[in-house]
């Protein structure tokens, strides 16, 4: 199986730093290449890319035939795009549907989204980055988006001290910018990406993707592509379709373009991951197309 071969290649370095150092002692060039990718990204890159490949394997299993044509691949993805975003928001009856977790008011950018709310937010990652500017739009996406962050969580997001006086001030300042917390907000459980600003998350996706694109396919991958050209072509078409879908949402928040139900779900994925998820996913799909050539 081609994708299993790709996943095995990405997992050569192991999951722990000690595994990487042990693998580096080998003479296998493919293993050394993945270990270098792991070291450059502090162990994050290969594991994240392998998870993307795992999700793609799940997608492949949903297809009706072993090796569909380009037309059938596009048809499979097209059925997600039958309704417009406006229709989807207005007619969805299942309140548990993930698309309903996005306030319709943040689907389209506002002119005030580009106003700076806080120009002195300390970064979580990176060296010599100085401070980060948080916009009103980013506050809206955290509070009205699928995460539904509370005032206390927003304080943590802005790297501010939390006390009895700071939360009312935060609410008041945001209300002046047109951002109002909902009393019915049920925030998601915070995770690693929750603490990253969009600036940091996008930079992480771009930098990790750059290192991934420098990773050559393994000898086994090349052999499988040569021995199974039809399956390799199929995977290239699937990867291309997914990359186009991820890219269509927009690389940055101000670039977002939401026209279909599929776009709405991808927007949720984008917002939950602070614009890391779909950008990195697109990078993996580009690398997969190159590896299957």
**Are 109 and 186 in a shared domain?**
yes
Query: What pTM did the predictor assign?
Result: 0.83
**Are 128 and 189 in a shared domain?**
yes
**Are 51 and 138 in a shared domain?**
no
**Are 48 and 131 in a shared domain?**
no
Q: What is the DSSP letter of 149?
A: -
Residue 220: predicted pLDDT:
95
Q: Which of 161, 179, 197 is the last residue of a domain?
A: 197
Rg of the Cα trace of the chain?
21
Tell whether 160 is covered by a domain.
yes
Q: Are 134 and 177 in contact (CB under 8 A)?
A: no
Residue 189: predicted pLDDT:
79
Tell whether 163 is covered by a domain.
yes
Tell whether 190 is covered by a domain.
yes
Residue 164: predicted pLDDT:
72
Check residue 16 and give left, alpha or beta (phi > 0: left; psi -120 to 50: alpha). beta
Tell whether 293 is covered by a domain.
no
**Are 48 and 102 in a shared domain?**
no
**Are 105 and 193 in a shared domain?**
yes
**Are 100 and 167 in a shared domain?**
yes
Residue 188: predicted pLDDT:
74
Tell whether 282 is covered by a domain.
no
- CA pair distance 139, 250, nearest whole angstrom: 18
Residue 33: predicted pLDDT:
92
**Are 21 and 104 in a shared domain?**
no
CA nearest to 198, candidates 246, 250, 257: 250
**Are 113 and 20 in a shared domain?**
no
Helices (H), the chain: 2-10, 17-24, 29-40, 44-61, 70-78, 85-91, 136-144, 151-157, 166-176, 198-213, 219-227, 229-248, 261-272, 277-291
Strand 132-135 versus strand 116-121 pairing type: antiparallel
Tell whether 83 is covered by a domain.
no
Residue 128: predicted pLDDT:
65
Residue 83: predicted pLDDT:
43
Q: Which of 197, 224, 254 is the last residue of a domain?
A: 197
Q: Name the domain count of the chain.
A: 2
Residue 93: predicted pLDDT:
39
Range of the domain at 40: 13-57
**Are 35 and 119 in a shared domain?**
no
Q: How many CB atoms lie within 10 A of CB 183?
A: 5
- CA pair distance 10, 46, nearest whole angstrom: 5
Q: Tens place of pLDDT for every residue, the chain, 293 residues? A: 789 999 999 998 887 767 776 766 666 889 889 989 998 998 899 999 999 999 998 877 776 555 555 566 556 555 544 444 334 334 443 444 444 477 888 888 888 999 999 998 988 886 666 889 999 999 999 999 889 998 889 998 998 877 777 888 999 999 999 898 876 666 677 888 888 999 999 999 999 999 999 999 999 999 999 999 999 998 999 999 999 999 988 999 888 888 888 888 899 999 999 999 999 999 999 999 999 99
Residue 256: predicted pLDDT:
84
Tell whether 74 is covered by a domain.
no
Residue 95: predicted pLDDT:
42
**Are 32 and 121 in a shared domain?**
no
- CA pair distance 97, 266, nearest whole angstrom: 13
- Residue with token string 């997600």: 80
Q: Which of 155, 179, 197 is the last residue of a domain?
A: 197
Residue 4: predicted pLDDT:
92
Tell whether 113 is covered by a domain.
yes
**Are 121 and 189 in a shared domain?**
yes
């Amino acid at each position: 199986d081609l994708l299993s071969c790709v996943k095995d290649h990405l997992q050569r370095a192991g999951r722990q730093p000690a595994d990487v150092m042990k693998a580096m002692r080998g003479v296998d060039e493919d293993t050394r290449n993945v270990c270098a990718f792991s070291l450059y990204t502090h162990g994050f890159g290969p594991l994240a890319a392998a998870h993307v490949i795992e999700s793609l394997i799940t997608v492949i299993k949903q297809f009706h035939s072993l090796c569909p044509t380009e037309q059938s691949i596009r048809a499979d993805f097209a059925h997600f795009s039958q309704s417009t975003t406006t229709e989807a928001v207005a007619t969805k009856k299942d309140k548990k549907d993930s698309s309903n977790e996005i306030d319709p008011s943040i689907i389209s950018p506002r002119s005030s989204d580009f106003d700076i709310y806080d120009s002195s937010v300390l970064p979580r990652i990176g060296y010599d980055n100085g401070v980060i500017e948080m916009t009103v739009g980013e506050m809206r996406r955290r509070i009205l988006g699928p995460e539904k962050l509370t005032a206390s969580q927003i304080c943590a997001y802005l790297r501010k001290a939390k006390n009895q006086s700071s939360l009312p001030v935060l609410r008041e300042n945001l209300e002046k910018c047109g951002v109002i917390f909902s009393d019915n907000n049920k925030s998601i459980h915070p995770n690693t990406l929750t603490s990253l600003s969009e600036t940091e998350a996008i930079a992480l996706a771009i930098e990790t993707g750059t290192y991934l694109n420098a990773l050559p396919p393994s000898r086994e991958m090349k052999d499988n592509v040569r021995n199974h050209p039809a399956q390799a072509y199929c995977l290239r078409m699937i990867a291309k379709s997914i990359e186009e879908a991820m890219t269509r949402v927009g690389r940055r928040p101000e670039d977002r373009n939401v026209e279909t139900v599929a776009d709405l779900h991808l927007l949720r994925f984008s917002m939950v991951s602070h614009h890391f998820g779909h950008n990195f996913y697109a990078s993996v799909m580009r690398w997969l197309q190159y590896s299957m050539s």
